[in-house]
Amino acid sequence: MTDSSTVLIDARGLTKVYGKPGDKTGFTAVDGIDFQVRRGEAFGVLGANGAGKSSTMRMVACVSPATAGSLRILGYDSGADGAKIRARLGVVPQDDTIDTELTVRENLLIYGRYFGLSWKVLRERSTRLLEFTRLSEKAEDAVATLSGGMRRRLTIARALINEPEIVLLDEPTTGLDPQARHLLWERLFQLKQDGVTLLLTTHYMDEAEQLCDRLVVMDAGKIVAEGTPAELIARYTLREVLELRFAPGERQIMTDKCRGLAERMEELPDRLLLSTDNGEETLSAVHRQGVQPLTALVRRSSLEDVFLTLTGRSLLD
């Protein structure tokens, strides 16, 4: 039986400084962060480009040493016991690193040999993992013939070859079309159902909202919020958002008229977002001011709004 109270990844004061040790010009990419990932959960790290997500993932993957702080994974110290930890991790890096000279199945077999698995075990596992990632029909094809989504699924199959307890995924769906993203996230959901612990970074708030049990928001190397998606939405947003778009020439005057109509207003390059507890009422107030938007949309507040509130930036921009 799995014990969901067991902490598998325990980061305290975790810091990454790039540059020579002691060099004052070093750049602090991860700035003393604390987080704990428990067995069986999907834990998300959200942040804009450069927030420090990949640097954090590389430390957890034990391929980049922490500059300071402590990082314990599966009960081991990441600095001293990197090899033991790596043997029990699956890693899906941001860029696909599969061998395009080999066939789909050969990629799994060769990678599995690094873990010292026998050919017999590898043949069984590769068949099962190709089924799991919906690649059975492509097993004997060259990797070069695969679509982007298929390659990403192969990278996931490869990461599972050693039956890892934790899988790290850095931006797993970036660059995929919506259908490929959907299939990939559905497979990740299944992985979680199977009891695998997931630590992932993403730009896609809708997916993070559905898949992640808990998440942290990173900004400039620090964690600025932590909680379940629902907790974060309740803590940092009002119930609804009214999104307004204007004709280019009217934007400034309309924005000025909208000021004060909602508790909070965010100006994005292409939209105005008014946070409110009642979007329809706010829209009526907008109309009473004589404001005529090109489009008006009332929606529930989301993680995207949490991110905007916390960092002043939209992840979509």
Ligand X SMILES: Nc1ncnc2c1ncn2[C@@H]1O[C@H](COP(=O)(O)OP(=O)(O)OP(=O)(O)O)[C@@H](O)[C@H]1O
Minimum separation from the CB atom of position 73 to ligand X (A)? 18
Residue 54 in the binding site for ligand X (CB under 6 A):
yes
Residue 55 in the binding site for ligand X (CB under 6 A):
yes
From residue 89, how far is each of 40, 164, 283 by CA, in Å?
A: 14, 5, 50
Encoded tokens for 74: 């599966």
Minimum separation from the CB atom of position 313 to ligand X (A)? 12
Beta carbons of 273 and 308 less than 8 angstroms apart? yes
Please report, as a single letter, which amino acid is at residue 95.
D
Q: How, if at all, do strands 42-47 and 197-202 pair? A: parallel
CA distance 156 to 285: 50
DSSP state of 193: H
From residue 185, how far is each of 12, 64, 96, 141, 256 by CA, in Å?
A: 29, 27, 17, 24, 41
Residue 119 in the binding site for ligand X (CB under 6 A):
no
Closest CB to ligand X among residues 53, 187:
53
Residue 15 in the binding site for ligand X (CB under 6 A):
no
Minimum separation from the CB atom of position 47 to ligand X (A)? 5
Residue from 50, 65, 148, 260 touching ligand X (CB under 6 A): that is: 50
Closest CB to ligand X among residues 132, 307:
307
CA distance 209 to 221: 22
Interface with ligand X (CB under 6 A), residue total 11
Closest CB to ligand X among residues 59, 73:
59
From 43-51, 79-87, 191-199, 246-254, span contacting ligand X (CB under 6 A): 43-51
Q: Compute CA 91 distance to the chain's CA centroid, rounded to the nearest angstrom.
A: 13
Residue 47 in the binding site for ligand X (CB under 6 A):
yes
Closest CB to ligand X among residues 107, 173:
173
Please count the residues of the chain.
Answer: 317
CA distance 93 to 229: 24
CA distance 289 to 165: 57
Beta carbons of 140 and 109 less than 8 angstroms apart? no
Minimum separation from the CB atom of position 71 to ligand X (A)? 15
Minimum separation from the CB atom of position 60 to ligand X (A)? 12
From 46-54, 81-89, 139-147, 295-303, span contacting ligand X (CB under 6 A): 46-54
CA distance 60 to 199: 9
Residue from 11, 35, 37, 52 touching ligand X (CB under 6 A): that is: 52
For residues 231, 307, 211, 180, the Cα torsion angle rounded to the nearest 10 degrees is 160
Residue from 2, 4, 13, 18 touching ligand X (CB under 6 A): that is: 18
Beta carbons of 118 and 173 less than 8 angstroms apart? no
Minimum separation from the CB atom of position 42 to ligand X (A)? 18
Residue from 6, 13, 27, 194 touching ligand X (CB under 6 A): that is: 27
Minimum separation from the CB atom of position 208 to ligand X (A)? 14
Closest CB to ligand X among residues 25, 49:
49
From 51-59, 81-89, 146-154, 280-288, span contacting ligand X (CB under 6 A): 51-59
Closest CB to ligand X among residues 99, 206:
206
Task: Find tokens 């964690």 and name the residue.
Answer: 223
Residues that bind ligand X (CB under 6 A): 18, 27, 29, 47, 49-55
